[in-house]
Amino acid sequence: MTAKAHGHHCSNCSAPLEVELGQVEVFCEFCDSVLRIVPGEDELAVVRTREEMKYRERVAVEKAILRQKLEREEADRWRQTAAKVAIAAVPIVGRAAGRGLFNAALSRGSGCLGCGCLALLTLLLLLVVGLFV
């Protein structure tokens, strides 16, 4: 919603300016000046609301970025742990099976259920170890 503010003119060239409600900076199309406008009492509420909305949006974006980073780091830690388990299993299950476990652990999005956690493979490894002990 565009509301023309009465009495707003460019301080450099006196050209009339269209000022939206709550707008604090205006670009003069005639002299290419950027002018700052002090909002009135009724416009201050609009300015505060806009700034609060911008702040909340920035916080939400930062939270989403941090959440994605945390999820990636957690998945990497799971893959590293699964790779260590696969390496430790080499003497028990054999070189070919150990190499398969290791490769599955390191590839992103693979593993027993497509998540890279190797839970079922680890369970099978424990069962095999239990049979030989």
Domain for residue 50, yes or no? yes
Q: What is the rounded distance in angstroms from the CA atom of residue 23 to the CA atom of residue 67?
A: 34
Q: pLDDT: is 84 or 125 the higher one?
A: 84
A 10 A CB-CB count for 60 gives 10
In a domain, 10, yes or no: no
Q: Structure tokens of 123?
A: 């369970």
* Residue 16 forms part of a structural domain: no
Residue 122: CB atoms within 10 A of its CB come to 19
Please give the Cα distance from 15 to 9 (Å, whole number): 5
Give domain status of residue 48, yes or no.
yes
Total domain count, the chain: 1
Q: What pLDDT sits at residue 54?
A: 94
Confidence of residue 1 (pLDDT cuts 50, 70, 90): very low
**Using one digit for the tens of pLDDT, what is the confidence trace for 35-59?**
887 777 777 777 788 889 999 999 9
Answer with the residue of higher pLDDT: 31 or 132: 31
**pLDDT tens-digit readout, 103-125:** 776 665 555 555 555 565 666 66
Q: Which pLDDT score, from 0 to 100, does residue 67 have?
A: 96
Compute the distance between CA of residue 32 and CA of residue 12 in angstroms, rounded to an integer: 10
> Which DSSP string do the residues of 61-103 spell out, in sequence order?
HHHHHHHHHHHHHHHHHHHHHHHHHHHHHHHHH-HHHHHHHHH
pLDDT (mean) for 93-110: 67
Residue 32: pLDDT over 90: no
Coil, helix or strand for 6? coil
Report if residue 30 sits inside a domain: no
Q: Rounded to two decimals, what is the model's pTM?
A: 0.46
| In a domain? residue 29 | no
14: phi > 0 → left, psi -120 to 50 → alpha, else beta; which?
left
